[in-house]
Amino acid sequence: MNEIVKKTGTIQLGESFTPSLAENWCQTMSEINKTDFEWNVQLPYTQHPMPVMTSSAVSSGEYCSWTLNLGDDGANIKIGVNLVQGTQFSKIVHRFRVRAGIANKKGDLLFPNTTLIEIRSCVMSSTILQINKEELWKSDCYEKDGSFTIYCAVEIWVLKENKSGSLPKSTSNTCHNELLQTQLEELLENKTLSDFNLNVGGRIFPAHKNILAARSKVFAAMFEHETAEKLSNQVDIQDVDPDVFQEVLLYIYSGRMSSAAMDKKAVGVLAMADKYLLDQLKAECETHLMKRMTADNCVELLAIADQPHPAAHLKEYADDFLRRSTALVKATDGWEKAKKEKPLLFCELIEILCA
C-alpha cells in the first residue's frame, strides 16, 4: 500500500479588529488547521475478507497526530480514524471535523462523508466511512490492479493569541479642541458676523465665507472668482435635504457630527460630502455605513456606493459582504427589488458573485 500526505495548512479567521466604543479592548485570534492525506490500498482478492490494516501516522503539527484503519464486517468496508493528542492539544477549542471518501483517477471524491468528533480523551477513535464492498468493486474508484485510494482531511479549530490594548487617554489639547469646536458651533448658531446665505430648499442658513472656504475647496473656488454667488452673497441649493445640509454645515464649523445624526442621515451626508469635497466627512460616513452593513441593506449600500457619489471603500466592503453572505442577501427584499425593478444593478450583483 502507498501513502501520500498531500498538504497541511491553516485558515486565519476574522479580520483586524478596531474598537469603536470602548477605550480598552481585547481580540482573541483563532485559525483552522487542516491536514489531508491519501492512502492507496491494494486488495486484489475481493472474494476474501479484508484484513485489518492501519496507515502510517499523519501529523497535524503540534496539535495532534492521527492514523487511518481499515476493517471488514462482511458486507461493508469500515474506515476509522485514531486521533492522538499533541503538545499543543489544549489550544483546540472545537470538535474535530473529518471529511473522507474514495478518490477516482479524475480527482472526484465518491462515497463522501463528514464526521464531527468530540474532544474527550488522549486517544479518540471513530468510524468515518462505511462502504458496501460490492458497490466499491463496481465503481471506477477500484482499479484493475485491485487498488483503491482513501482520502481523508482533518480540520481543527485552534486558539492562536489574545491581542489587547487601550486607546490614548484624553489630554489638555483635547479640552482645548472641544472648547474651540463649541465656540464655532455657537458662532454658527448665533449668526454672529455672518456674511453669506445658503438657501437650501427655501430654508436660509446664514454662514461665514472664510470658514466655508477654509473647509471646502468648492466654496473656496466660488468665493475666489467673481461668481454670481459671490456678488449676491447667496447660493441656492436645491438637490439637498435641508435637515441633511444643517448637519453638514455644523460639521464644517465644528468638525464633528453626533452619532444619532449619523445613524439617521449617513447616506445623505455621504452624497453631500462628496459634492463639496469634504473628504474626512466622506470617510467617516463610509466607515459608519460599513460597520452597520447587514444582509438587509447590503444591496442598497452597494447601489449608493456606485453613483452619483462613488465611495470606493464602501463599495469594496459591500462587494466582499455580498460574496461572504450570498445566501442571506439573496433572501432579502432588496435583492428581489433589484431583480425586478433595477436590471442594471442586478446585473452588477451577478457580476460581483461571478468575479
User: Which residue intervals of the chain are DSSP H helices?
Assistant: 133-138, 172-190, 209-215, 217-224, 228-232, 242-254, 259-275, 279-291, 298-306, 312-324, 326-330, 333-341, 343-354
Statement: residue 6 has pLDDT above 60: no
Q: Are strands 196-200 and 234-237 parallel, antiparallel or unpaired?
A: parallel
Task: Give the per-residue SS3 of 19-84.
Answer: CCCCCEEEEEEEEEEEEEEEEEEECCCCCCCCCCEECCCEEECCCEEEEEEEEECCCEEEEEEEEE
| Cα torsion through 18, 20, 24, 27, rounded to 10 | -40
Query: What is the mean pLDDT of the segment spanning 180-203?
Result: 89
Can you tell me the distance from the alpha carbon of 126 to that of 113, in angstroms, rounded to the nearest whole number?
A: 13
In contact, 239 and 272? CB cutoff 8 Å? no
What the block records as the C-alpha cell of 27 is: 481580540
User: Mind listing the domains of the chain with CATH numbers?
Assistant: 2-164 (2.60.210.10), 170-292 (3.30.710.10), 293-355 (1.25.40.420)
When mean pLDDT is compared across 7-11, 217-221, 299-303, the lowest value belongs to: 7-11
Amino acid at 191: K
Query: What is the mean pLDDT of the segment spanning 166-177?
Result: 62
In contact, 233 and 226? CB cutoff 8 Å? no
In contact, 195 and 209? CB cutoff 8 Å? yes
Q: Which of 340, 328, 342 is nearest to 297 (CA)?
A: 328
Question: What per-residue confidence (pLDDT) applies to 123?
Answer: 64
Over residues 238-271, the pLDDT tens digits come to 889 999 999 999 999 998 888 889 999 998 999 9
251: which residues sit within 8 A by CB, 6+ positions away? 257, 269, 278, 281
What the block records as the C-alpha cell of 217 is: 475647496
Statement: residue 3 has pLDDT above 80: no
Exposed/middle/buried for 16, CB within 10 Å: 0-12, 13-18, 19+? exposed
Question: What per-residue confidence (pLDDT) applies to 198?
Answer: 93
In contact, 69 and 196? CB cutoff 8 Å? no
Phi-psi region of 173 (alpha: psi -120 to 50; beta: other; left: phi over 0): alpha
Can you tell me the distance from the alpha carbon of 200 to that of 268, in angstroms, rounded to the nearest whole number?
A: 14
Statement: residue 37 has pLDDT above 90: yes
In contact, 79 and 73? CB cutoff 8 Å? no
Angle at 279 between CA 201 and CA 276, to 5 degrees: 30
Per DSSP, the three-state class of 163 is strand
Question: What per-residue confidence (pLDDT) applies to 15?
Answer: 56
In contact, 73 and 35? CB cutoff 8 Å? no
Over residues 73-107, the pLDDT tens digits come to 888 989 999 988 888 888 887 778 999 999 988 87
Can you tell me the distance from the alpha carbon of 78 to that of 50, in angstroms, rounded to the nearest whole number?
A: 10
Q: How many CB atoms are closer than 10 A to CB 214?
A: 11
The pLDDT confidence band at residue 45, using thresholds 50, 70 and 90, is: low
How many CA atoms does the CB half-sphere of 31 hold within 13 Å? 10
* Helix H or strand E encompassing 132: strand 123-132
